[in-house]
Chain A
């Protein structure tokens, strides 16, 4: 236990100071929380805007089903035959590989 003869006079926090600290603290926390939730809520807005835009492109289209795309149907008629025809299989379908079985590259 240390001994001393003089000690600092007790500091009394005035009402104004107390409310001031509380007020500033609350204001900073509140704005911070507000800004943070706002930022976090809006973080995917750009995804939603792009998405909505594509759905609008669909909505205003005169032809809205793939099988009614006349230009595509013309391609099939004059070239590939029909979907899953031998030529379609050859040109428009593919095979996949099991990459776990690939060895080292040469």
Chain B
């Protein structure tokens, strides 16, 4: 099938034909026009075009699209297997959403409770915020190298892609580029997403130096706000840890991250294991090196958050001073395309540069103008953050479904017969 490689998961999101009313709502959210079906008739998803973002799923009023990948039983059997060490990599957006599944207000921050519940279930915690910080170090260093090379004229020992640099944390966005804008591949940051970095760290450094176990006995579960992450972990190139160990005499083959549970899946897992989330005791996990994270790592779940985190570090590296104040308000909030300029004085050369950045989310509506500029070679930006979902990962396709909400962020839009 075009658009899918061997071993990659396919058809992650499918429409339940019985439930679908053909209301066309999903089409107004689908970033790649992967949904077919005439108004009134049942709709289908074309897997070749689908980027598995799950926005149709969280926005269908009739609950028709389903997440077809269910690895709950696999995870439970690994939890019961005492030869296996089961790691949960928890994304930033999960801690502010999972409480909704248990009747609490949207936005209740439950990091410690989540750690506690995961511990009770038998997981070891690897906070993805740790790897979000790591992503900033890798992706930020890449950006800084590009700035030094292209803007300050220094030579570079690395193979550098083009400017503007796009963020690469969002697997739906990556798949969208690979399918629809292959000419932008050189602009994508080569940094893996935080989840994939976390998997690689867990099965190398984590296995040997933190948990002292054989890497092949690790079972790494991503707990994500995202259905596209289920696709991402199935990409065949993500076996860096196994490749690393093979160079040192290892023989096993295994993926960096074994499986993904969405926030909804994790709530189901807790219920299935009879863990009462509201009564679970809090757990801070102070001695766990992978539970240490910075404020920059945690805001990765918001639109603008990756950019804000990257700029805090880039500013420091280039100017030698910490950014103050740290809050970059122009790139916060739900505006479709957000822009900012950041003047920097290079501490090494004393040269002044101005960094232009843009933040895009809800890409069905907002991506086109930004991407067209880049393709035409007229983009004024140096760094562009793209998150597929409106509002960022906190509103991802794997998050609890808020019945009184919708991802429709723009102003009023009627579905008129001529539109």
Chain A bound to chain B: yes
Interface size class of A (residues with CB under 8 A): 35 or more
With both chains docked as a complex, state the minimum distance between the C-beta of A33 and any C-beta of chain B, in angstroms.
13
Q: Does A31 contact B (CB under 8 A)?
A: no
Considering the complex, give the chain B residue whose CB is closest to the CB of A50.
B394
Interface size class of B (residues with CB under 8 A): 35 or more
Considering the complex, give the chain B residue whose CB is closest to the CB of A78.
B209
* Chain A binder among B19-27, B67-75, B195-203, B212-220: B195-203
Q: Does A56 contact B (CB under 8 A)?
A: yes
- Cβ contact within 8 Å between B200 and A92: yes
- Cβ contact within 8 Å between B205 and A66: no
Chain B interface mostly helix, strand, loop or mixed? helix
Considering the complex, give the chain B residue whose CB is closest to the CB of A73.
B137
Considering the complex, give the chain A residue whose CB is closest to the CB of B175.
A99
* Chain B binder among A12-20, A21-29, A80-88: A80-88
- Cβ contact within 8 Å between B391 and A51: yes
Interface contact tally, CB-CB below 8 A:
221
A47 in complex: contacting residue of B182, B201, B405, CB < 8 Å: B405
A105–B10 Cα distance when bound, in Å, is 11
With both chains docked as a complex, state the minimum distance between the C-beta of B393 and any C-beta of chain A, in angstroms.
9
- Cβ contact within 8 Å between A102 and B188: no
Question: Given the known A-B contacts A96-B178, A98-B182, are A67 and B108 also in contact in the complex, defined by CB atoms under 8 Å?
Answer: no
Chain A, 37-92, CB within 8 A of any chain B CB: 39-40, 42-61, 63-72, 74-76, 78-80, 83-84, 88, 90-92
Q: Which 8 A-B pairs have the closest CB atoms?
A: A49-B107, A58-B295, A61-B295, A64-B295, A71-B292, A66-B136, A66-B133, A46-B106
Given known contacts A53-B107, A92-B240, what 13 new A-B pairs fall within 8 Å (CB)? A54-B298, A57-B111, A61-B295, A65-B294, A71-B130, A71-B289, A71-B292, A72-B134, A79-B205, A94-B192, A98-B182, A103-B2, A106-B6
Q: Which residues of B contact A (CB under 8 A)?
A: 1-6, 92-93, 95-97, 100, 105-109, 111, 130, 132-134, 136-138, 140-142, 145, 158, 174-175, 177-179, 182, 185, 188, 190-192, 196-197, 200-201, 204-205, 209, 237-238, 240-241, 243-244, 289-290, 292-299, 301-303, 305, 309, 312-313, 316-317, 322, 326-327, 332, 334, 390-392, 394-395, 402, 404-409, 412
